[in-house]
Chains A and B, each alone.
Chain A
Amino acid sequence: MDTSQLKQELVQLLGKDKVLTQDLDLMYYSYDSSFLTKLEPAPPNAVVFPKSTQDVQKVVEFAYQNRINIVPRGAGTGETGGCIAVQGGIVMDLSTWNEIIEIDVKNMQVIVSPGVIHAELNNELAKYNLFFPPDPGSSMMCTVGGMVANNASGLRAVKYWATEPYILGLEVVMPNGDVIITGGMKARCIKNVSGINLTKLMVGSEGILGIVTRIRLRCFPKPKARGIAMAVFDNLDDAPAVVMDVYQAGILPSGIEILDSSAIKAVNDFKPQIKLPDAEAILLFEVDGNPPSVEYEGQVIQEVAGRKARTVEWATEPKRMAELWEGRSVTAAASARVRPDGSRIFAGEDISVPISRVADTLRALRDLADQHGIQIVNYGHIGDGNVHTAPVINPEIPQEVEKVIKFVDEVHLLAIEMNGSTTGEHGVGAVRRAYAELEHGKAVEYMRKIKESFDPAGIMNPGKVF
């Protein structure tokens, strides 16, 4: 089918208000936050904005009959090209379908359409003293549908883990247009081991198995208190050691973040008033819960971290907590400004390694960066071994681009070498699929079999994951 006919058909199916057809407008859907699409934007053939399951179903049936690719998209904040039509086709932007369908307070769950923004959902849930715990850095703009597709997590994964455990059931439009409900058609229960767990299979499948149109997710009671501890280290190895010591002491903080010397310098250069201590590493612990337990956990962290750290400070007063956390909250912005003639890029930015190997990994990353002559800033969620590396280059100088592509490749290989993964929370998308065989071996064959049985026509987000 030629492109103009495709556009006409889509307009007939959904009406002109739900379809973008002008080439100029389609260009705006050629990028996400990945370095890949910064270098090679890939516009789709059309963009649709469904507002109901029926809308999605109509488009999918049409695409299935005509063998046209469909690429689901949330807010386009991903860093992997996952929502980009790298092999052409229709981009399905689900971000405008943003409805909180039901907050079932009695059963501690909420039903949403895929376009609901994470932060907006939590603002609503807060009215009922509830919250949806996974906490991505892009909370203000990312959609819950995107979080489901990528099994997103974030700062608080240490205690609350990722999106997957909270998803109780999904409505999915399958690649042939069938609509299924996972987790029990009528279920409102929390515990459920009935049948093969298709919910778990769908979460994190990055839109290659079907399109999620409705999400039933579990909420937790919102913690009443919070505290922050900052520990400063002269020796990098002491930072992960203290993380283990804190766990050994029976404490599970909600988040544990690390800034290494590169991040400390970047933050101090960007905002000198923050005055982070000059050190090899800084750890930030966040604990939450009831006021007495928060105080108790804070005391234990101070005592345990104090054995190896140069200094430890504990705060529960909101202003001081914000000050202690500020260094971490501006790290991304600081990374962007390390070089006036450069920019941080999102590539090789999400490796995950065992906690015991975080210090070795950080050192190896620095060595790799030196070898390739690339400046980097390292930070991340040390509590679960997720390291965010921000290479800083001038993306408009071809030689720098060439160097960083080699560097990023070695970063991914390093992650596998360290018994880790090429991605902890951002996903594979188009940018990390080359490592699938190396990372998963024969298991990739079975992933392909699952994909083929769900999507025999191969129209659902092709060119992603493996």
Chain B
Amino acid sequence: MDFKKLPPVQEQLMKCVRCGKCRSVCPVFAEVGIETTAPRGHVFMVQMLRDGKVEPTNEVYERLGQCLLCETCSINCPSGIDVHELNAAARSYIYDNNPSVGKELLFETLWTKPAMLRSSARVMSAAQKLGLQSLARKTGLTKILPGDLKEAEQMMDNIPSKSARSRLSEINLAREEKKYTVGYFLGCGTDLFSPNVAVAAVDVLTRNGCEVIIPKDMKCCGLPHIANGKIETAQKLAAHNIKVLNAYDFDYIVTDCASCSSALSRKNMEFLFAGLKIEDAALALSEKVLDLTVFLIDVLDIRLPQKKTAEKIRVTYHDPCHLANAQLIKDHPRELLRRIPGIQLAEMKAPNTCCGGSGTYSTTHYEMSMKILDKKMDNAMETGAKILTTCCPSCIMQLSYGCKRHNWDVQVLHPVELLSRYYQS
């Protein structure tokens, strides 16, 4: 991959006039307040890299790595610059010049091999259940997590013992007259950390006339790799998934994970494959991909029967960056919640401000992540909600940790879990 020839690097760097609007929307800049964290600062530094004014060193990576890649600056940029793409491209360029063993092990070995990732999670889960954190440490599993071990352990102290994959069949038949054949893209986060979301998604889809197929040999969507300077690996993963998914004749491909749907979106495919031979196949795949909430509202238009027993419950909703910013999807999750009898949606302040999770960011930049999380939790708690909802497993993990951190006794769920519960009640 030639960094300097990537479309955003070639076309967008010159467009930044350093107007500074990005300073007013960036959650990291809001905490730090100095220019080294401003999105326009990142754009400037990418330009310096391209022009050879700075070397691709770890010091430059560290500064670019302060960005959450939440895309808030990108959607607010008057010049239309995809700041996150420039940042990701630069990280990859620097990483190629400064590879690290730990990252290679995690992103090249573990995170490209779903079976290995799953068994690692099982070992960690078992160790936690037995109170044997040290065992997990000895296995070296937590050591290869990016960032600080102690914090990573805190964040991941409740790994489910069974993955979604082990609880669900490959083929799940429609429970009423079949309307659609749906490919369910089971993301790593949902699979390992929020398997109940996947079970609920399959339950709701099959109840509504969908035959749900979870292809066996799918791999990670590649978004964690993009964020961690491994664009070429992300390309390989995407190419693999394109081949696997395009081999089926799906009407739609649905995912409950905001990050996965954004990774499979047209925009990201263009970023990864612009001008390459595979681009057409990639875009053909993207055409079929929908976030689960969009599919449930726009395609299935689900309507729920009123039940006398429907319990009234106050719910608030957090917009994942990869849904609200990357795909401009804000209404569908809310509409879905509104359609569930008994749910009272209470909006929090700044619902589409990042929660600070951003995949591996919460472990690589724990302190910053917590500052951003604390603001989010204050806004969420102010609603007096009993359930906090969101559409991203990384956000679910971060917000769950936030609840624990703030002693706030609420459940953090994907809206589809509430929907499934309602069907079953």
Closest chain B residue, CB of each to CB of A29:
B35
Q: Given A20-B34, A28-B35, A31-B44, are A336 and B11 also a contact pair (CB < 8 Å)?
A: no
Bound complex: CA A142 to CA B124 (Å): 49
User: Are A344 and B17 neighbours in the complex by a CB distance under 8 Å?
Assistant: yes
Q: Contacts A76-B20, A93-B34, A344-B17; is A27 near B79 (CB within 8 Å)? A: no
Residues of B within 8 A of A27 (CB): 44-45, 48, 53-54
Candidates B15, B20, B59; contact of A336 at CB < 8 Å: B15
State how many angstroms separate the Cβ of A403 from the closest Cβ of chain B.
Answer: 16
Judge whether B266 is part of the interface by a CB distance below 8 angstroms. Answer: no
* Chain A proximity mask over B3-25: 1 for CB below 8 Å, otherwise 0: 00000000100111111110110
CB-nearest residue of chain B to A25? B36
Is A138 an interface residue when CB atoms closer than 8 A count as contact? yes
Does A356 touch B at the CB level, under 8 Å?
no
Q: Nearest Cβ in chain A — how far from B204, in angstroms?
A: 35
Q: Which of B11, B21, B34, B54 contacts A140 (CB 8 A)?
A: B21
B32 CB to closest chain A CB (Å) equals 9
Give Cα A29–Cα B44 distance, bound, in whole angstroms: 10
**Would you call A132 an interface residue if the criterion is a C-beta within 8 Å of the partner chain's C-beta atoms?**
no
Q: Are A38 and B78 in contact, with the CB atoms below 8 A?
A: no
**B63 touches A (CB below 8 Å):** yes
- With both chains docked as a complex, state the minimum distance between the C-beta of A43 and any C-beta of chain B, in angstroms: 10
- Looking at the assembled complex, report how far the CB atom of B245 sits from the nearest CB atom of chain A, in whole angstroms: 32
Give the residue name and chain of the B residue nearest to A333 (CB): B78
Would you give the shortest CB distance from B328 to chain A, in whole angstroms? 15
Given A341-B11, A343-B79, A117 and B19 touching (CB < 8 A)?
A: no
Looking at A33, A37, A141, A332, the one whose CB has the most chain B CB atoms below 10 A away is: A141
B14 and A76 contact, CB distance less than 8 A: no
Q: Which residue of chain A lies nearest to B35 when distances are taken between CB atoms in the complex?
A: A28
Interface contact A336-B79, CB-CB below 8 Å: yes
Residues of B within 8 A of A345 (CB): 17
Residue of A nearest to B38 (CB): A28
Within 8 A of A (CB), among B164-179: none
Closest CB of chain A to B17's CB: distance in Å? Answer: 6
A343 in contact with B54 (CB, 8 Å): no
A28 to B32, CA, bound (A): 14
Cβ-defined partner of B59 (8 Å) among A24, A93, A395:
A24
Known A-B contacts A75-B23, A117-B24, A140-B24; A32 and B36 likewise in contact (beta carbons under 8 Å): no
Complex contacts, A41 vs chain B, CB 8 Å? 44
Check if A292 is an interface residue, CB within 8 A of chain B. Answer: no
Given contacts A24-B59, A333-B78, A341-B11, contact A38 B21 (CB under 8 A): no
Interface contact B20-A141, CB-CB below 8 Å: yes
B205, chain A: closest CB distance, angstroms: 34
Assembly CA distance A399 to B395 (angstroms): 49
Q: Which residue of B lies closest to A73 (CB)?
A: B35
Given A33-B20, A75-B23, A140-B21, CB of A337 within 8 Å of CB of B80: yes
- Given A93-B34, A117-B24, A341-B11, residue A28 in contact with residue B41 (CB < 8 A): yes
Closest A residue to B40 using CB positions? A31
Nearest CB of chain B from residue A282's CB, rounded to whole Å? 20
Residue among B11, B14, B24 making CB contact with A395, cutoff 8 Å: B14
CB-based contact B14/A33 at 8 Å: no
* A396 in contact with B14 (CB, 8 Å): yes
- Interface hits, B23-68 → A, CB 8 Å: 23-24, 33-36, 38, 41, 44-45, 48, 53-54, 59-60, 63
Q: How near does chain B come to A293, taking the closest CB pair, in angstroms?
A: 33
- A96 interface contact, C-beta 8 A: yes
Nearest CB in chain B: distance from A375 CB, A? 15
Asked whether, in the complex, the Cβ of A340 is within 8 Å of the Cβ of B34, the reply is: no
Contact mask A11-41 → B, CB, 8 Å, 1/0? 0000000001010110111011100011001
Contact A24 B17 (CB under 8 A): no
Which residues from B are CB-within-8-Å of A122? none
Within 8 A of B (CB), among A295-341: 332-333, 336-337, 340-341
Partner of B18, one of A24, A33, A93, A337: A33
Chain A residues, CB < 8 A from B14 = 342-343, 394-396
Q: Which of B20, B34, B36, B54 contacts A138 (CB 8 A)?
A: B20
Residues of B with C-beta under 8 A to A57: none
* CB proximity of B211 to chain A, nearest CB, Å: 38
- Collect the chain A residues with CB atoms within 8 Å of residue B79's CB: 333, 336-337, 343-344
Are A77 and B17 within 8 A (Cβ)? Answer: no
Expressed in whole angstroms, the minimum distance between the Cβ of B6 and any Cβ of chain A is 15
- Report Cα–Cα, A29/B41, bound state, in Å: 9
Residue of B19, B23, B54, B60 most packed against chain A (CB within 10 A): B19
- Among A46-78, those with CB < 8 Å from B are 49, 75-77
Contacts of A77 in B (CB 8 A): 19-20, 23
Residues of B within 8 A of A29 (CB): 35
With a 10 A CB-CB cut-off, give which of B24, B48, B79, B80 has the most chain A CB atoms: B24
CB-CB under 8 A for A333 and B80, given A28-B35, A93-B34: yes
B78: A residues at CB distance < 8 A = 332-333, 336
Cross-chain contact B45 with A28 (CB below 8 angstroms)? yes
Q: Which residues of A contact B48 (CB under 8 A)?
A: 27
Q: Are A336 and B17 in contact (CB under 8 A)?
A: yes
Contact present for B15 and A343 (CB under 8 Å): yes
Q: How far is the CB of B171 from chain A (nearest CB, A)?
A: 44
Most buried by B among A22, A75, A119: A75
| Contact of A96 with B17 at beta-carbon distance under 8 Å, contacts A27-B54, A333-B80 already known | no
- Chain A interface residues toward B at CB < 8 A: 20, 22, 24-25, 27-29, 31-33, 37-38, 41, 49, 75-77, 93, 95-96, 98, 117, 119, 138, 140-142, 332-333, 336-337, 340-346, 394-396
A-B contact pairs, 27 of them (CB 8 A): A20-B34, A25-B63, A27-B53, A28-B36, A29-B35, A33-B18, A37-B18, A38-B17, A75-B20, A76-B18, A76-B20, A76-B35, A77-B20, A96-B33, A98-B33, A138-B19, A142-B20, A332-B19, A332-B78, A333-B79, A336-B17, A337-B79, A342-B14, A343-B14, A343-B15, A343-B17, A344-B79
7 A-B pairs with the lowest CB-CB distances in the bound complex, closest first: A140-B24, A333-B78, A28-B35, A336-B79, A141-B24, A77-B20, A96-B33
5 extra interchain contacts, Cβ-Cβ under 8 A, other than A41-B44, A141-B21, A336-B15? A22-B59, A24-B63, A33-B17, A75-B20, A141-B20
| Interface residues of B, Cβ cutoff 8 Å to A | 11, 14-21, 23-24, 33-36, 38, 41, 44-45, 48, 53-54, 59-60, 63, 78-80
